[in-house]
Amino acid sequence: MYRISKTVGFSAAHQVRECGGACERLHGHNWKVIAHLAAAKLDELGMVIDFKEIKRALTEILEPLEHNLLNEVAPFDRQNPTSENLARYVHDGLAERLENERVRISRVDVWETEASCASYSPEE
């Protein structure tokens, strides 16, 4: 199995609804998103997928969130904008854009601080 990853960042504010404490207050992060992709065989160029394609897809997915209050952007206007929910949101967006019979999105990590990360993987 071949595995690759691409990292991008974005800045946004959020409020974690009904959690109590500091996270319920409006605050922001410089988020880091790491997308992990896998393929059993490489393409004709010897790649899982071109890193430029991953970056383009991540940019499309994250652009509506950039420098916004996540609580006001769908689907987080209805769903808590936690790192866990962001990881699933990014995974599903990437799967829609990049997955095929050869390539799959194996995991997405969302870091909201240097010490706090949430991951989503469809296999586990």
Tell me the pLDDT tens digit for each residue of 62-93: 999 999 999 999 999 999 999 999 999 999 99
Q: Distance between CA 53 and CA 59 in Å, rounded?
A: 10
Per-residue pLDDT at 124: 61
25 close to 34: Cβ distance less than 8 angstroms? no
Q: Identify the burial level of 100 via C-beta atoms within 10 angstroms of its C-beta, where 0-12 means exposed, 13-18 middle and 19 or more buried.
A: exposed
Per-residue pLDDT at 91: 98
The pTM (predicted TM-score) of the whole model is 0.95
CATH code of the domain made up of 2-120: 3.30.479.10
Give pLDDT < 50 ranges for the chain.
none
Please list the helix, strand and coil fractions of the chain in percent, rounded to the nearest 5, in that order. Answer: 25, 35, 40
E-assigned strand segments in 15-55: 27-39
